[in-house]
Structures are given as C-alpha cells and as structure tokens.
Amino acid sequence: MEHKNKKSNKALTIGIIILSIMFVVVVWGLVLSGLISNVGSIESGRITGNGTIDVIYVEGGIGEVGSIFSEPAYNHRWTLNQIDELMYSQTNKAILLYVNSPGGGVYESDELYLKLEEYRKFTERPVYAYMAQIAASGGYYICMAADKVYANRMTMTGSIGVIMSTLDTTELEQKIGMKTENIVSGKNKAMGNPLTEEQRQILQAMVDETYSTFIEIVSESRQLDLEKTRQLADGRVYTANQAKELNLIDEIGNFDKVVQDLKFDYGFEGVEVYDVIRERSFFDELFNVVGKNTTLFNEFNVIREYIERNKGSKLMYY
C-alpha cells in the first residue's frame, strides 16, 4: 500500500513539474510574441525607390480573438496600428484593401471603416478595395471607405444587415437539473434566458439603429438613394455580377487588375506593391501546430466559440 502511495505521489510530482514547465513556456511565448510583433516599423524592409502601394489584408472574422493555441487570421489592433503608420509613411502612395471576410463585430467593423476614412482624408491618398471569396456584411461595410471597389467574378458580397443572437439554455438546464439564478438591480439587467417580449423590443431597437448606420454609409459611399439602398439591404448575399448591376461595387476583376488600374488611375507606374503582413513568431507557429493536432481541444473550441458568440447578445455585421 505504501509502495502504491509512493508511485502515486511520484506521478503527481512529475505531472506538476510538466504543467509548470508548460505554463512558463506559454507565458514567455506570449511575452516574446508581443515583443517580436512590435519590433521595428512598417518602413523596415520596404522598397523605397518610387514609393509603395501597401496591401492591408482583412481575412477572417473582424474582431475575433483566438486562444493561445490558435490566432485569428485578422488581428484588429495590429491592423489599425499599421494604417496609423501608413498615414505618416514617406513611401506610401495608396492603400489596397484585400478583403476575404464574412464580417464581424459592429464596433470593430466601424472602427476599421473610420480608420480607413481617416487615412484617406488625412493623406489625400487613394484607397482601393478588392473582394476575394467573400466580403459580406462587415466585410462589405469596411469596403465603403474605398474610392473604388472591385470584386472577383466568384465573390459573394452584400449581406447588408445586422444580427444579434442570444442563447436560451433554459430547456437544457431543466433536462440536466441545473438552474440559473441572477441577482439583478433591474428587470432588464440580465436579458435573455429566456427573452421577454419587452427585452426583445429593446434589442430590436439596438439592431435597427446600427442597421440604419449601415444603410446610410452604403447610400453615401455608393451614391444610392436611401430608400433604394434599404430595399437592397434585406440581408441577402449577391454575386459579383448582381452587385455590379446594383452599383454595390465598381468593377469585376482579379487582384492584378486592381493593381494595374490603381497605378494607371494615379500615375503610379514603377510604384512597388508591398504586402503589410504581421510576422508570426516561433511561438505563434508552435502553438498553432499544437492546436491543430489536438482534436479534442479543437472540438471544444468550436463549441466554446459558438457559446461566446451568442451568449452576450453582441451586435454583429456578420
């Protein structure tokens, strides 16, 4: 019996040591990743001969946050910082916005849109937008800051609208014998679970307000009648051809055509195209590999992301 206890204690000690090492590696990985990603400026390594057209990539959900074992394709704060740097860049001639996104948070989408608008007005330099596979909802929203909008012939775009999802777990809780108790200061402090009719009207008013903002931005940017824009903005997605016919975009073409047209329109012959891409550190790659090879973790992550996205009644251009 004593022998078994010794083995158990030894295994426990080894487990604690392994977990401690993993914790230290993770913490230092996060610290070093942050330091490495912020080293240097956007001017580093840039070809400065005739200036640059800088490509800003918006891929994936706008504003999504990854775990330590995976990171979103799009890094919101980093992207805003890069646009800030481009405003004062001595080599930058224009921004080419590359969008492959189904949208994202209302706040983050609007913040990126406003930052691009600030760049365009402050520098008086052009912004062109290229839509790849998908540029829907928030992905379309940010393109409204561009002087000219292009879509690939296979692009899906539009989906102009707002969604707010809530997760009602009352039936599940009843089945498994759980009960949620909220101590609140007012009847509408903890909305949902279940959602009352009064709360539904409150949330609907919020959706309607942010939807109106979306409509107004599209109407102004695309020079469309406000009522006409509202008719188009019923949430549906459009093909590139449909979007072109409805004046939701300017041109259909591939990425190379956008570059050629931008250079021709502004006399940028000889100007280099520069991809503004966040460099991934060794620890970013390490955690990404671990995440991809941990099946159970990934399956849990899908469930966690769904719950996180829906439990807080977050307004989404998605």
Task: Catalogue the active-site residues.
Answer: 137, 189
Q: Which amino acid is at 231?
A: Q
Tokens in use for 70? Answer: 């995976």
Q: Sign (positive/negative) of CA torsion 250, 255, 259, 264? A: negative
User: What is the distance between the alpha carbons of residues 55 and 277, in angstroms, rounded to a whole number?
Assistant: 8
CA 186 to chain centre: 34
In three-state secondary structure terms, 294 is coil
Q: Are 123 and 203 in contact (CB under 8 A)?
A: no
Q: Tell the burial category of 117 from Cβ atoms under 10 Å away from its Cβ (0-12, 13-18, 19+).
A: middle
Q: How many CA atoms lie within 13 A of 284 on its CB side?
A: 14
User: What is the distance between the alpha carbons of residues 94 and 256, in angstroms, rounded to a whole number?
Assistant: 15
User: What is the distance between the alpha carbons of residues 47 and 51, in angstroms, rounded to a whole number?
Assistant: 7
Cis peptide before 72 (omega within 30 of 0): no
User: What is the distance between the alpha carbons of residues 13 and 203, in angstroms, rounded to a whole number?
Assistant: 52
Q: Which residues contact 303 (CB under 8 A, 6 or more apart)?
A: none
Tokens in use for 263? Answer: 């250079």
